[in-house]
Amino acid sequence: MQESTANQVAANATSSFTEHLQRDRPELLPFSRPLPGGASTAAPVQVPHATTIVAMSYGGGVLMAGDRRATMGNVIASRHIEKVFPADHFSVLGIAGTAGIAIDLTRLFQVELEHYEKIEGTQLSLEGKANRLGAMIRGNLPLALQGLAVVPLFAGFDISAGVGRLFSYDVTGGRYEEHEHHTVGSGSVFARGALKKLWRPNLNPEQALSVAVESLYDAADDDSATGGPDTVRQLWPVVYTVDRTGARRVPEAELAAASRSVIEARTIAGREA
């Protein structure tokens, strides 16, 4: 009986794990969960939200960084949340929006890419990964219209083209390739202003890290939902770089040094704003 069931599952397998769940176990999808009774667009459920993500290209790859704060209304829900994750060996994903759904969607996307590689025997192209993520975000649209939106950033190294690429999305799953840099989340308008001033072509990884920390610091300075580097708790942004060797999480020691450098420079400047 078990062998027969296993054979049936194998016979129905596709290269998309999400399609498999939609067909056989739709209740397991993050966006298939019903809202609690009484929830509506007029009075959305109070849940933790994740902000802010910044990403940029640099000479030889892309970098993505996220602060560590999650908020629930006017309350800090967490100071330790991680918002940037490796999607696979050559791509990373940053989440903004409803934290619980975003994290579940990230895990599903990671399994989606691993499943494709096992079924097809090769990695999905970066363009294909970006398209599949857009389809998954589109599946969350009913919840997004009720206030539970997920808006990620996706970045990776395009092996065939030999360059890093960056993609943004809207709540309908619309996918847009960004050039140079981009930000999402409640502090994005402030982080984007910093990136416009500080980013330049062909930054090296160390310079890109400094620019990312500086932009998150600016976002935290003006957006209460964004957490800046915390020297008391030793909390630093989560940062990944992706180049032709793969995705790499920047170690805590490097983040601490870059954060302290930004803080010291601003302390010496002695400016109020």
Residues 6+ apart with CB under 8 A from 114: 88
Distance of CA 83 to the CA centre of its chain: 6
Residue 40, exposed/middle/buried by CB under 10 A (0-12, 13-18, 19+)? Answer: exposed
Which among 18, 51, 106, 226 is annotated as catalytic? 51
Query: In this structure, are residues 73 and 45 in contact, taking their beta carbons and an 8 Å threshold?
Result: no
Is 51 annotated in the active site? yes
Residues designated catalytic: 51
